[in-house]
Amino acid sequence: MIKAALSSTILSSAFLIIQTTWMKNGLVWGVIPDFCLLVILWVAYNNRNSQGVITGFFSGIVCDFLSSSPLGYFSFLYIIPAYAATFLRKVVTMDAFFIPVLFGFAGTVLKGLASIFLLLIYGPEYMSAYSLSDYRFWIEATLNGALAPLLFFGLSKIRRLLVTKKVTE
């Protein structure tokens, strides 16, 4: 489990670096898709226990270091969708297209709601949050949904690195 959690954290962190550099000007109307979130969702769905949540926590810490956000902010934002994805593995069967799209879109919405929750608690002087009336938020959700099938397909090819043996067997 440690090996899989470590490799999934490294992979999601690599995607974070890509988001900050190669995709710094955004993909559509300046909006950057959240590949890191998609990796976390995939890991959370495909692993038992709390591996997705652990990956979300550590990837969030890396994201906090890369961002000007307060430490712990993105950890919280990534834990919540990961937690939901861990639950969903019991009720949803993954397919090639529709479920990944749903995961990418719903995961972004959950991330947005988590950011609003933090804004309500800590206040705007410390926190930024998604605005549900902002078109950029919905573009990000749509982008994440659209890119999820492709990324999930790619991740399934390196499944043995990211999923603990107990589940795959």
| CA-wise closest residue to 107 among 33, 46, 168, 160 | 33
Q: Which stretch binds other proteins (CB under 8 A): 50-58, 97-105, 147-155, 156-164?
A: 50-58
Q: How far is the CB of 96 from other proteins (least distance, A)?
A: 27
Q: Please provide residue 149's backbone torsions phi and psi, each rounded to the nearest 5 degrees.
A: -55, -40
Q: How far is the CB of 139 from other proteins (least distance, A)?
A: 9
**Residue 3's CB: how many other CB atoms inside 10 A?**
11
Sign (positive or negative) of CA dihedral 74, 108, 100, 154: negative
- Give me 92's structure tokens: 């949803």
Residues 92-111 that bind other proteins (CB under 8 A): none
Let me know the angle formed at the C-alpha of 79 by 137 and 119, rounded to the nearest 5 degrees.
50
In angstroms, the Cα distances linking 124 to 4, 62, 99, 136 are 37, 23, 34, 19
78 and 57 Cβ atoms separated by less than 8 Å = yes
Residues 115-134 that bind other proteins (CB under 8 A): 115, 118, 120-130
Residue 30 or residue 154: which is nearer to other proteins going by CB? 30
DSSP state of 71: T
If binding is defined by CB under 8 A, does position 68 make contact with other proteins? yes
56 and 96 Cβ atoms separated by less than 8 Å = no
If binding is defined by CB under 8 A, does position 164 make contact with other proteins? no
Select from 20, 97, 132, 154 the one that contacts other proteins (CB under 8 A): 20
Q: How far is the CB of 137 from other proteins (least distance, A)?
A: 8
If binding is defined by CB under 8 A, does position 168 make contact with other proteins? no
Residue 84 or residue 156: which is nearer to other proteins going by CB? 84
Query: Would you tell me which residues interact with other proteins (CB under 8 A)?
Result: 16, 19-21, 24-26, 30-32, 34, 36, 49-50, 53-54, 56-57, 60, 63, 66-76, 79-80, 83, 86, 115, 118, 120-130, 136-137, 140
